Amino acid sequence: MDFITRPLGVVLGYIYAFTNSYGLSIVLFTVFMKILLLPLVIKQQKSMSETQKVQPLIAELQKKYKNDKEKLNQEMMKLYQKHKVNPAGGCLPLLIQLPIMFGLYRVIYQPLKYILNKSVEEIKALGESFTPPIDVRNEIAIASESGLINLHFLGLNLAETPQFNVISILWIIPILAAGTTYLSSYLTSKMSSSTGQNQQATQMQSGMMKFFPFMTAFISFQLPAGVGLYWVVSNIVQVIQQIFLNKYFAPGQKEGKES
C-alpha cells in the first residue's frame, strides 16, 4: 500500500508543516481528499440512479420470465443496452475509493512514518526509550510522549483512547462518530428508496443503518482519538455531499433540468 500511502503522507506532511496541529491537519486533509474523490462519488451516484430507474422494467421481466433464467438474462441485457445502463457502473468508483480509504487510515494512524518520514528503527528506538516502553505500532502515543507532533486539538489529546469505564471529554469522539455514521447512512438509504430500489436491498440498508453506528462507536473506543476524529470529519463531509447529491439525483430533478 506504500504506493498509495506515501503520496498521501506527503500531502498530510505539508499540511502539518503549515498548521503545526495534528487535529487541524486531519480536518483539512480529510476535506481535501473528499473533494478530490468527489468526481468518483458523483459517478457512482449517477450510475446507481440510472440503474434504479429501470428497476420497474426489470421487475416486469423477472415476473414474465421467472421460469426461464436464460431468457431473463438475455432480456435484461437488452434492457440495459437500450437504456444505456451499466449495472456494474457503480462498483468501479467504489473499488477505486477503497484502497485510497485504507491508505488514508494508515497515514492518520502512523504520523511518525508518514508525516515526519521516520524509519521503523527510529520509531522503535523512540518507543523503547520510555518507561514502560511503547509498542512501535502505537505511533500516535510515541509521537505524543516524545513531543514530536502537536496532538492537542480543541481541548482533546488525540493520542489518548476513549475508555468505556472512564467518562471523559474524549467520549465526544465515539458519540460524534456514531451520530454522523447514522446520518450518512440515513441519507444514502433515503436516496436509494427515492430511486425505487427493491424492497430486499432497502431492508438490508436499513439493517446496516442501525448496525454501523454502534460498530463505529465500539471501534472508536479501541483506537486513539485522532483516528476517530478522521471518521467524524469524513462523515460530516460525506453528509454534506450526500445532501446535495440527493437533491440533484432526486426523481424528476434531472428530468426537470433536461426539459
pLDDT tens for each residue of 63-82 = 888 877 888 888 888 888 88
Residue after which a domain boundary falls, among 72, 89, 109: 109
Q: What's the N-to-C CA distance of the chain in angstroms? A: 46
Q: Is residue 187 part of a domain?
A: yes
Amino acid at 224: P
Query: Rounded mean pLDDT of the chain?
Result: 83
Q: Report residue 259 as a C-alpha cell.
A: 426539459
Q: Is residue 48 part of a domain?
A: yes
| CA–CA gap between residue 58 and residue 73 (Å, rounded) | 10
> Given phi > 0 = left and psi -120 to 50 = alpha, else beta, which region is 250?
beta
Q: Within this chain, do residues 29 and 99 fall inside the same structural domain, yes or no?
A: yes
Instruction: Read off the pLDDT of residues 169-198 as tens digits, 9 standing for 90 and up.
Output: 999 999 999 999 999 888 877 766 554 455
Structure-model confidence comparison of residues 217 and 81, the more confident one: 217
pLDDT (mean) for 33-52: 82
pLDDT for the residue 57: 83
Q: Is residue 150 part of a domain?
A: no
Q: Is residue 165 part of a domain?
A: yes
Q: Is residue 133 part of a domain?
A: no
Residue after which a domain boundary falls, among 94, 109, 124: 109
Q: Is residue 142 part of a domain?
A: no
Q: Within this chain, do residues 102 and 7 fall inside the same structural domain, yes or no?
A: yes
Q: Within this chain, do residues 12 and 90 fall inside the same structural domain, yes or no?
A: yes
Domain range holding 53? Answer: 1-109
Contact status, residue 47 vs residue 86, Cβ threshold 8 Å = yes
Q: How many degrees, rounded to 5, is the angle at CA 35 between CA 118 and CA 173?
A: 65
Q: Report residue 63 as a C-alpha cell.
A: 415476473
| CA–CA gap between residue 48 and residue 115 (Å, rounded) | 37
Q: Within this chain, do residues 93 and 25 fall inside the same structural domain, yes or no?
A: yes
Q: Within this chain, do residues 100 and 187 fall inside the same structural domain, yes or no?
A: no
Helices (H), the chain: 2-19, 22-53, 55-64, 69-82, 91-109, 111-114, 120-128, 139-146, 172-194, 199-220, 225-248, 253-258
pLDDT for the residue 19: 94
Give whichever of 66-80, 147-161, 194-208 has the largest mean pLDDT.
147-161
Q: Is residue 123 part of a domain?
A: no
| CA–CA gap between residue 35 and residue 56 (Å, rounded) | 34
Residue after which a domain boundary falls, among 109, 127, 149: 109
DSSP-assigned beta bridge partners for residue 153: 156
Q: Is residue 213 part of a domain?
A: yes
Count: domains in the chain: 2
pLDDT at residue 88 greater than cutoff 80 = no
